[in-house]
Amino acid sequence: MAKDKPGAGTYRYLIAWQKAMDLAQQIYLVTERFPAGEKFGLTAQMRRSAVSVASNIAEGFGRNRTLEFRRFLEMSKGSLFELQTQAELARRLGWLKGDSLATLRETTHEADAVLGGLIHSLRA
């Protein structure tokens, strides 16, 4: 392990990555119910954004430098905000509602809080 590597072990132990993986799985399940005509539209965009949240955490961890890790976490947070915006559009279109919407909002807020805490800890 590099001297400046953030954390120990693997990114799989990071709560931020675990939450991001839960979020990606949730997005895949929710978007299965979107209209078939959206397969290459909002469905694909939401899935890409969700996968990007977890992927950037993993990639940044693998860069072996705290500064780069923080930069990738910030990109991850940007992808999370994209996803929140896309989910809001899906809500406005009537494709995302009820328990699915409530659970997704809760999961994105949790992921945001955990990412924010991790970014803050790396600034110290």
- State pLDDT tens for residues 32-66: 999 999 888 999 999 999 999 999 999 999 998 99
Confidence of residue 2 (pLDDT cuts 50, 70, 90): very low
pLDDT at residue 102 tops 80: yes
**Predicted pLDDT of residue 3:** 40
**Predicted pLDDT of residue 8:** 59
**Predicted pLDDT of residue 4:** 47
Residue range 96-113: mean pLDDT, rounded: 94
Domain 11-123 has CATH 3.30.460.10: no
Count the neighbouring beta carbons within 10 Å of the beta carbon of residue 3.
6
